[in-house]
Structure 1
């Protein structure tokens, strides 16, 4: 129940600004609601991981119940919550998670290391000069 440790975005302009201004880092946006138990589980994992990935990723929560956010809910086809969307240099990242949907991660990660692994393996290679094999 650590969602209070992460920035919560409730306005379209806040999401736009985060996407536009997060440069040279991955932006991780969790779409969901604070009252959902699975979202709370994911929020706990994200908040525990935020410091560990802070050199190459920023994490924020997006409240899908906000009227202003509905444009993003429709655009990213957020039908299941939580859904996590990744951006790099203001561009939406598509990744292969072994599912038919390459636009987002649907559901919660089981543990902190699962999330860190997804960010490091699928996202970090976007900046090859900063990450050594």
Structure 2
């Protein structure tokens, strides 16, 4: 079976996939297909998708599409790539040691890191949790500075 990563460019497509992905972790990578770090992440997602397909759906969201700007604004996507997780239409958060638990910013260093993260989110979601602890050691979590506007 061939696995492809769907690219979403319309708000209705994003709404639909969030609403219709049931009993699986939905992984939305927000970014640009022209960005080198996004391409690195997309490669890891593509290589992992078959292994996690029983409990995960992965889609790419093109942040340059005017129609999805509402999500870019809502999730405060200022750094790309940013990855957001959902389970049964609930936004899943992850404590990875940063001040922002709403998204994963940056690429995963390797395929197994991504698999470990979605497994942790899936296990937490099955127990009714809306926030899980990141299973990766701190040295494999991308570091970035949170920039606050108008502070």
TM-score scaled by length of structure 1: 0.91
User: Do structure 1's residue 8 and structure 2's residue 4 form an aligned pair?
Assistant: no
The alpha carbon displacement at 1:5 in A equals 2.6
Higher relative contact order (CA 8 A, sep 6+): 1
8 Å Cα contact 1:22-1:90 kept in structure 2 = yes
Q: Deviations over 1:93-127 (max 9, x none)?
A: 11111111000000000000010011112333322
8 Å Cα contact 2:94-2:101 kept in structure 1 = yes
**In the alignment, what sits opposite 1:37?**
36
8 Å Cα contact 2:25-2:56 kept in structure 1 = yes
Q: Which runs of 5+ in 1 are unaligned?
A: 129-133
Alpha-carbon separation, structure 2, partners of 1:66 and 1:112: 28
SS in 2 for 1:49: helix
Alpha-carbon separation, structure 2, partners of 1:92 and 1:121: 14
Q: How does 1:31-70 map to 2 (within 5 A)?
A: 31-70=30-69
Alpha-carbon separation, structure 2, partners of 1:93 and 1:125: 9
**In the alignment, what sits opposite 2:114?**
115
Q: How does 1:49-128 map to 2 (within 5 A)?
A: 49-128=48-127
Query: Once superposed, which parts of structure 1, at least 4 consecutive aligned residues long, lie more than 4 Å away?
Result: none
Alpha-carbon separation, structure 2, partners of 1:72 and 1:122: 21
8 Å Cα contact 2:7-2:60 kept in structure 1 = yes
Q: Which runs of 5+ in 2 are unaligned?
A: 128-151
Q: Give 1 or 2 for the bigger CA radius of gyration.
A: 2
SS in 2 for 1:94: strand
- Paired residue total: 125
8 Å Cα contact 1:56-1:124 kept in structure 2 = no
SS in 1 for 2:45: helix
